[in-house]
Amino acid sequence: MLSGRQSLLRSAAPLWRCATSSGGIRRRCYAEEAKKDTPTNKAVEAFKEMWSKVAPNLDFPKTPHESMASRPPVPPAIPEKLTVNFVLPSEVAMNAEKVDMVILPATSGLMGVLPGHVPTIAELKPGVLSVHDGGQVKTQYFLSSGFAFVHANSVTDIVVVEAAPLDRFDPDEVRKNLADYNQKLSSATTDLDKAQAQIGVDVFGSLAFALGVTA
């Protein structure tokens, strides 16, 4: 009677011969092994049969883009107006509004977007979003951070974490908060305290600059 090890070696012998054979013989050996009526092959075939019966009745989940309206095509000529969508987590501040230009506080610097701008993705930092129309500034928002997606069809999507109209901020409160965070930064002893204070200095410093607030 064969021991367990001898039985295992004998069953593996055909595969070993295949592995040490030339290319054509090796492929034929593996094909022959795959055709054998083993428990594994039976299970695979049973699964395939059941799947072929179930799959046609499955209602697969929809992906987000399937629920979105299709993007307008790129016009043959540059349009006169820029279409802007400005979205916050809690509201849509601008929905397909036609304007002359927007100026974005990108991490690389202030970025002006006009109709026909090259497609771009820009990360935004704390600063002022200016919307221009009719030769004047239509509105200004102070935003914390986010991204702007400039598309080839003169549509710009602006998605931010927080934003508010610039005229809602109290200059005195901004000055006070900036001073408080500067004090926290100078007295911080841990990396976490320094990082939190630096964020406050950056945000309120940008807001103070936008409002023309001096220390």
Q: What is the pLDDT of residues 110-169, one digit of tens each?
A: 999 999 999 999 999 999 999 999 989 999 999 989 999 999 999 999 999 999 999 899
The per-residue pLDDT for 106 is: 96
Q: pTM of this prediction?
A: 0.62
Residue 76 pLDDT greater than 70, yes or no: yes
pLDDT tens by residue, 9-53: 455 555 445 554 555 555 555 555 555 667 777 888 888 888 888
pLDDT tens by residue, 170-179: 999 999 999 9
Residue 7: Cβ-neighbour burial (10 angstroms; 0-12, 13-18, 19+): exposed
For residue 97, how many C-alpha atoms fall within 13 Å in the half-sphere facing its CB?
Answer: 18
The per-residue pLDDT for 110 is: 94
Task: Spell out the residues 6+ positions from residue 143 whose beta carbon is closer than 8 angstroms to its own.
Answer: 105, 124, 126, 127, 128, 129, 160, 161, 162, 163
